[in-house]
C-alpha cells in the first residue's frame, strides 16, 4: 500500500475547480483512486520527516503531490504504480516555465539534477510535474532532505521541488516519469485552473492509456508488424479479464507448438505453420507487457516470468530447429543450436551489465554539467545520443536493427524457416547474431573506457559473478593479490576452455588430460579474479567472460566424452536460465536466490563435471547435474519470486480496483 502526502499550494488565493471544489480536495480524492490507502496534508517539512520515518518502518513508499497539480487521475496512478523498483518523479515537457517551479536534467531516463532555471541553464530537459513517488529504501534520504538546513541552492523553490532537488544532490536514483498523451499541468493562479481543466477534459483517458501501453520506442519489426494492431488484442484481453501472466502462458504455448512443428519433420507445411505460430506468439509476448501497463497489474513474479519465458521460448525454438535439421538430413542441428544458445546468452550478459554501467554513469554525472570526457569512446557516446534522438530516421532504425533485438530474431527465424529450412534459420541467427555481438562489444568497450565507472563494485560482486564455495575458499586461502585484475583472469579461463574445445574438435590429446587441466586453469584463474577489486573500466565484462568460460567447458567436455549433444544443450539451457535469473535480480534490485549456494557456483559446476568425466560417467553426470540444477532453480525461483508477489498483493488489489472503477465509469 502507499501513503500519499499533499503539499498545499503556495498562492494566497484558493485554487478552485469550475464546480467550486477546492483543487486540493480534488487531488486528495484522485490520490485515493490512484491507490493511496490514506492521504495526509503536510503542514510543513517537519511532517514529511515524521511521515517518511513512519513509512520507512512500515516498508511502504510515499507518494508526494503538490497541491497545484491539475491532471488526469491516470497520471498519478501511473506514477504510483511505476514498475521500476526506484523512486520516480513526474516530468513535464520543457516549455514555458511558471515562476518558482523546478527544472530537471535527465540522462538515460533518470532525473540527474533538479534546481532553479538559473542553476541549470544549459542542462534542463523538462520541468518537475509536482508529483514524486519515493520508494521505501530512499525514505531515509527523503527525511534527511526535509530536515532544516537541507534546502541547498533551491531554497526559493516550493517545498516538494526542494525535496526533489535535495534527493538528486544526494545521488538517489530517480526515474523520470514522462507525460505522454495524458495531461498534467501545474497552476499558479485561479485563472490557470479552467484552462488546465479544459485540457484534461479534451483527452479520452482510456484511449490514451491504451496507446501508452505500447512502448514509446521499440524495434523496427515490433513497431510496424506488431504494435500497429496488438493494442486491440490488449483491450480484448483486459475486457475478458485475462492477466498478463495468462497471456505469457499462451505465448509460451504458441512458441512451444511452433518448436514442435519445426521438429516434426513435416516439411514445408509444418515449417510455415510453425512460423505463423511463432509470429503470433511474439505478438502475445508484446501483449502481456502492454496488458500489464494498461491495467497497471505489475508483480515481481509476473515480471520475472515474462523475462524467463522470453529466453525459454527462444531456446526451445532453437532445440526444435535442431531436431528438424537432423530429421531432414541437413546436418548436425544440435551443433548449431549449442552455438546459438551460447552466443546469445553470453551476449545478453554483456547487454545487461553495459546497461547497468551506462545507468550508473548517468547517475554519477555532475549535476548541471555536461560531460567533458574526450577520446574516441566519448565521441561515440555523443554520436549515439544524437542518433537516438533522431527518432524515425534511417540512421535511428539502422542503429536499433543492426544489434539484432528479439523482434528481429523472431522475424528472421519465422521468415527463413518458412521460405527455406531450419538449417538456414539457425545459420542466419548465428551470422547476424555474431556480427551484432562483435559490433556492440567493440563499440561498448570503447564507450565504457570513457565512462570509467566501476559498476561491479556497486553490487554484490560474487553473487553476479556466480562464484561458488570453491572460488571463495581459494581466494581466501591463496590471496592472489599479486595477480592482474579480474577481467584478464576471466579471459584466461575463457582461453583455457576455448583451447580444450579446439583440441576436442581436432581430436588431439587425451580427454582425461584436457578435462582435468582445463578445469584446474578455469577454476584457479576465476578464483584469483574473485579476490580482486572490480574497479577497472572494462570489468563489467567479467560476468559474461565467466559465462563463456563455463559454457565452452561444458561443450568441450561433452565433445571429448561423447555426451549426446541434446544433453549438452539441456545443461546449457538450465545454466542460461539460472544466469538470466541473476540478471533479472540485478534489474529488479532483488537479493540472491534463496537456494543460490545449492547451485554450486560456476567453479563448483566445473569441478563436478571434471570429476564425473574422470570417473568415466560424463553422460550420466551431465544428465544428473542438469536435472539437479533445474530442480534447485525451479524451487528457488518459486520461493523467491512468488514471495515477493505476496508482499505486493495489497498494492496489486488496489491497482486492479482502480482499473475496474475506471472501466465502470465509462
Closest among 348, 332, 351 to 555, alpha carbons compared: 332
- β-pairing, 126-134 vs 87-93, is antiparallel
CA dist., res. 452 & res. 360, Å (int): 10
Q: Which residues contact 572 (CB under 8 A, 6 or more apart)?
A: 338, 341, 342, 345, 551, 554, 555
Evaluate whether 346 touches 434 at the Cβ level (below 8 Å).
no
Residue 366 — pLDDT band, cuts 50, 70, 90?
low
CA dist., res. 40 & res. 77, Å (int): 17
Average pLDDT, the chain: 88
More confident residue, 69 or 43: 69
User: pTM, whole model, 2 decimals?
Assistant: 0.90
Structure confidence at residue 97 (pLDDT): 52
3-state secondary structure of 63: strand
Q: Give the burial string for 87-122 (b: 16+ CB within 10 Å, else e).
A: bbbbbbeeeeeeeebbbbbbbeebbbbbbbeebbee
CA dist., res. 88 & res. 80, Å (int): 9
DSSP per-residue string spanning 596-616: TGGG-HHHHHHHHHHHHHHTT
CA-atom Rg of the chain in angstroms? 27
Q: Is 664 exposed, middle or buried (0-12, 13-18, 19+ CB in 10 A)?
A: exposed
* Sequence-separated contacts (24+) of 93-100 with Cβ below 8 Å: 93/126, 93/127, 93/179, 94/124, 94/125, 94/126, 94/127, 95/127, 97/127, 98/186, 98/188, 99/188, 100/10, 100/156, 100/157, 100/158, 100/161, 100/188
- Element spanning 377, H or E: helix 375-389
Q: Which of 18-22, 92-96, 291-295 has the lowest mean pLDDT?
A: 92-96
Residue 532 — pLDDT band, cuts 50, 70, 90?
confident
Closest among 396, 388, 401, 390 to 225, alpha carbons compared: 401
3-state secondary structure of 112: strand
- Residues facing residue 40 across a β-bridge: 5
- Element spanning 508, H or E: none
CB atoms within 10 A of CB 435: 13
CA dist., res. 82 & res. 76, Å (int): 10
Does residue 11 carry a pLDDT above 70? no
CA dist., res. 646 & res. 630, Å (int): 24
Structure confidence at residue 179 (pLDDT): 86
All three cell numbers of 35, joined, read: 491507490
> Tens of pLDDT along 289-343?
999 999 998 888 888 999 999 999 999 999 999 999 999 999 999 999 999 999 9
All three cell numbers of 348, joined, read: 545478453
Structure confidence at residue 153 (pLDDT): 58
Evaluate whether 239 touches 659 at the Cβ level (below 8 Å).
no
Evaluate whether 310 touches 345 at the Cβ level (below 8 Å).
no
How many Å from the N-terminal Cα to the C-terminal Cα in the chain? 26
Q: What is the DSSP letter of 135?
A: -
Closest among 118, 87, 84, 89 to 106, alpha carbons compared: 89
To the nearest 10 degrees (0 to 180), the angle between helices 300-327 and 406-419 is: 20
Report the C-alpha dihedral over residues 587, 590, 591, 594, rounded to 10 degrees: -110
Does residue 480 carry a pLDDT above 70? no
> Tens of pLDDT along 180-210?
899 999 998 888 899 999 999 999 999 999 9
Mean pLDDT of 273-299: 95
Evaluate whether 632 touches 598 at the Cβ level (below 8 Å).
yes
Q: Which of 118-122, 400-404, 515-519 has the lowest mean pLDDT?
A: 118-122
> Tens of pLDDT along 581-620?
999 988 887 889 999 999 999 999 999 999 999 999 999 9
Structure confidence at residue 365 (pLDDT): 64
All three cell numbers of 351, joined, read: 547487454
Amino acid at each position: 500500500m502507499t501513503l500519499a502526502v499533499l503539499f498545499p499550494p503556495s498562492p494566497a488565493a484558493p485554487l478552485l475547480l469550475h464546480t467550486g471544489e477546492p483543487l486540493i480536495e480534488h487531488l486528495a480524492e484522485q490520490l485515493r483512486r490512484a491507490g493511496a490507502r490514506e492521504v495526509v496534508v503536510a503542514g510543513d517539512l517537519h511532517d514529511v520527516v515524521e511521515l517518511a520515518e513512519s513509512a520507512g518502518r512500515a516498508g511502504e513508499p510515499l507518494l508526494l503531490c503538490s497541491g497545484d497539480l491539475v491532471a488526469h487521475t491516470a497520471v498519478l496512478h501511473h506514477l504510483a504504480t511505476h514498475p521500476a523498483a526506484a523512486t520516480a518523479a513526474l516530468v513535464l515537457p520543457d516549455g514555458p516555465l511558471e515562476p518558482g517551479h523546478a527544472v530537471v536534467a535527465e540522462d538515460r531516463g533518470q532525473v540527474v539534477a533538479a534546481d532553479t532555471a538559473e542553476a541549470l541553464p544549459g542542462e534542463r530537459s523538462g520541468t518537475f510535474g509536482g508529483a514524486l513517488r519515493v520508494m521505501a529504501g530512499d525514505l531515509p534520504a527523503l527525511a534527511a532532505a526535509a530536515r532544516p538546513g537541507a534546502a541547498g541552492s533551491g531554497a526559493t523553490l516550493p517545498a516538494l521541488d526542494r525535496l526533489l532537488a535535495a534527493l538528486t544532490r544526494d545521488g538517489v536514483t530517480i526515474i523520470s516519469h514522462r507525460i505522454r498523451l495524458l495531461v498534467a499541468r501545474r497552476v499558479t493562479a485561479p485563472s490557470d485552473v479552467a484552462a488546465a481543466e479544459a485540457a484534461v477534459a479534451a483527452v479520452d483517458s482510456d484511449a490514451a492509456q491504451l496507446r501508452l501501453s505500447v512502448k514509446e520506442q521499440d524495434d523496427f519489426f515490433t513497431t510496424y508488424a506488431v504494435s500497429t494492431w496488438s493494442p486491440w488484442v490488449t483491450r480484448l484481453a483486459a475486457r475478458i479479464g485475462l492477466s498478463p501472466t495468462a497471456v505469457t502462458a499462451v505465448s509460451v504455448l504458441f512458441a512451444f507448438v511452433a518448436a514442435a512443428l519445426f521438429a516434426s519433420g513435416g516439411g514445408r507445411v509444418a515449417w510455415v505453420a510453425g512460423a505463423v505460430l511463432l509470429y503470433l506468439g511474439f505478438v502475445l509476448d508484446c501483449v502481456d507487457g502492454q496488458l500489464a501497463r494498461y491495467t497497471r497489474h505489475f508483480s515481481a513474479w509476473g515480471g520475472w516470468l515474462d523475462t524467463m519465458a522470453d529466453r525459454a521460448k527462444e531456446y526451445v525454438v532453437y532445440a526444435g530447429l535442431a531436431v528438424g535439421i537432423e530429421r531432414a538430413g541437413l546436418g548436425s542441428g544440435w551443433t548449431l543450436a549449442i552455438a546459438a544458445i551460447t552466443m546469445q546468452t553470453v551476449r545478453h550478459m554483456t547487454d545487461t551489465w553495459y546497461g547497468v554501467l551506462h545507468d550508473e554513469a548517468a547517475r554519477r554525472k555532475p549535476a548541471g554539467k555536461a560531460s567533458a570526457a574526450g577520446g574516441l569512446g566519448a565521441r561515440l557516446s555523443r554520436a549515439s545520443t544524437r542518433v537516438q534522438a533522431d527518432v524515425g530516421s534511417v540512421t535511428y532504425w539502422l542503429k536499433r536493427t543492426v544489434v539484432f533485438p528479439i523482434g528481429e530474431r523472431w522475424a528472421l527465424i519465422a521468415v527463413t524457416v518458412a521460405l527455406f529450412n531450419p538449417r538456414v534459420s539457425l545459420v542466419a541467427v548465428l551470422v547476424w547474431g555474431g556480427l551484432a555481438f562483435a559490433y556492440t562489444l567493440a563499440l561498448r568497450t570503447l564507450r565504457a573506457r570513457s565512462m570509467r565507472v566501476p559498476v561491479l563494485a556497486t553490487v554484490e560482486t560474487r553473487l553476479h559473478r556466480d562464484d561458488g564455495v570453491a572460488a571463495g575458499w581459494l581466494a581466501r586461502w591463496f590471496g592472489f593479490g599479486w595477480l592482474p585484475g579480474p577481467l584478464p583472469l576471466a579471459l584466461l579461463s575463457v582461453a583455457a576452455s576455448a583451447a580444450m574445445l579446439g583440441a576436442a574438435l581436432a581430436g588431439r590429446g587425451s580427454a582425461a588430460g584436457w578435462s582435468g587441466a582445463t578445469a584446474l586453469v578455469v577454476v584457479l584463474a576465476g578464483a584469483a579474479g574473485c579476490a580482486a577489486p572490480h574497479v577497472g573500466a572494462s570489468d563489467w565484462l567479467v560476468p559474461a567472460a565467466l559465462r563463456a568460460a563455463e559454457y565452452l567447458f561444458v561443450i568441450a567436455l561433452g565433445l571429448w566424452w561423447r555426451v549426446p549433444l541434446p544433453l549438452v544443450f539441456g545443461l546449457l539451457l538450465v545454466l542460461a536460465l539460472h544466469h538470466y535469473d541473476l540478471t533479472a535480480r540485478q534489474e529488479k534490485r532483488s537479493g540472491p536466490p534463496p537456494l543460490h549456494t545449492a547451485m554450486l557456483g560456476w567453479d563448483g559446476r566445473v569441478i563436478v563435471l571434471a570429476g564425473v568425466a574422470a570417473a568415466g560417467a560424463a553422460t550420466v553426470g551431465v544428465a544428473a547435474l542438469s536435472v539437479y540444477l533445474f530442480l534447485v532453480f525451479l524451487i528457488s525461483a518459486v520461493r523467491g519470486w512468488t514471495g515477493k508477489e505476496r508482499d505486493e498483493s495489497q498494492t496489486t488489489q488496489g491497482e486492479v480496483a482502480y482499473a475496474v472503477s475506471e472501466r465502470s465509469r465509462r
